[in-house]
């Protein structure tokens, strides 16, 4: 069952679903629009092999990260970005993350992304860019998040490596 704006407002008012900071203008008909934050990382163009099984790999050499009030997303690149909002999802909900259609129509895309019940943190999102540069300012409503009620509360809520994340989180290695 997908939650409507009415359901979402009730979950937020009861503090079972937390969105920090919260603003009424992010509530849409059947989801919440989350805003892009002030930090992004772009995959570096290097020829070194990234071994995701190596516990000593220096992951930061594979990314260039920076903060700004606006970003130019260069063509044919992969970026990681973060949301302004910190979310806390109760165990009876999960969420599907989509790109707002305006940005998809510009040629941006994101892979299928799910927020698990029990997750809390800012959302790190992978963005694949278009064939031309696109400027996006921080605090722009960028993602549309659709919340769904699971048939029964999750018995083992999310407790993974990205729990409580703030800002852009690079891959945590080694893979498990």
Q: Quick one: tokens of 98?
A: 């989509």
CA distance 11 to 62: 39
152 marked as part of a ligand binding site: no
> Which amino acids are annotated catalytic?
126
Query: What pLDDT is attached to residue 91?
Result: 96
105 marked as part of a ligand binding site: yes
In a domain, residue 111? The reply is: yes
Query: What pLDDT is attached to residue 109?
Result: 98
CATH assignment of the domain containing 70? 2.70.40.10
CA distance 160 to 165: 10
Query: What pLDDT is attached to residue 24?
Result: 96
23 marked as part of a ligand binding site: no
Query: What pLDDT is attached to residue 92?
Result: 97
In a domain, residue 127? The reply is: yes
In a domain, residue 158? The reply is: no
pLDDT tens, position by position, 118-137: 999 999 999 999 999 999 99
Query: What pLDDT is attached to residue 176?
Result: 85
165 marked as part of a ligand binding site: yes
pLDDT tens, position by position, 72-84: 999 999 999 999 9
In a domain, residue 63? The reply is: yes
Query: What pLDDT is attached to residue 153?
Result: 86
51 marked as part of a ligand binding site: no
Query: What pLDDT is attached to residue 13?
Result: 98
Q: What is the chain's mean pLDDT, rounded? A: 97
Query: SS3 for the chain, per residue?
Result: CECCHHHHHHHHHCCCCEEECCCHHHEECCEEEEEEEEEEEEECCCCCCCCCCCCCCCHHHHEEEEECCEEEECCCCEEEEEEEEEEECCCCEEEEEEECHHHHHCCCECCCEEECCCCEEEEEEEEECCCCCEEEECCCEEEEEEEEECCCCCCCCCCCCCCCECCCCCCCCCCC
Query: What pLDDT is attached to residue 74?
Result: 98
Query: What pLDDT is attached to residue 2?
Result: 98
Alpha-carbon distances, residue 110 vs 88, 100, 129, 161 (angstroms): 21, 10, 9, 21
In a domain, residue 101? The reply is: yes
* Domain enclosing residue 34, as ranges: 5-149
CA distance 41 to 2: 32
In a domain, residue 43? The reply is: yes
In a domain, residue 172? The reply is: no
Query: What pLDDT is attached to residue 143?
Result: 98
The residues of the chain scoring below 50 in pLDDT are none
Give the Cα-Cα-Cα angle 79, 135, 39 (nearest 5 degrees).
45
Structural domains of the chain, count: 1
In a domain, residue 128? The reply is: yes
102 marked as part of a ligand binding site: yes
């Amino acid at each position: 069952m997908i939650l409507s704006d009415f359901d979402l407002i009730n979950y937020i008012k009861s503090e079972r679903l937390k969105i920090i900071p919260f603003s009424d203008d992010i509530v849409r008909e059947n989801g919440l629009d989350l805003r892009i934050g002030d930090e992004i990382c772009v995959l570096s163009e290097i020829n070194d092999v990234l071994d995701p099984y190596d516990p000593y790999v220096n992951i930061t050499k594979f990314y260039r990260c920076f903060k700004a009030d606006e970003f130019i997303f260069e063509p044919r690149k992969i970026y990681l970005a973060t949301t302004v909002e910190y979310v806390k999802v109760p165990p009876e909900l999960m969420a599907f993350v989509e790109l707002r259609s305006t940005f998809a129509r510009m040629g941006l895309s994101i892979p299928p992304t799910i927020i698990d019940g029990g997750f809390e943190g800012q959302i790190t999102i992978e963005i694949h860019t278009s064939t031309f540069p696109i400027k996006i300012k921080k605090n722009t409503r960028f993602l549309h998040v659709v919340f769904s009620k699971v048939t029964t509360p999750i018995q083992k809520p999310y407790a993974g490596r990205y729990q409580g994340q703030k800002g852009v989180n690079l891959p945590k290695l080694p893979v498990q």
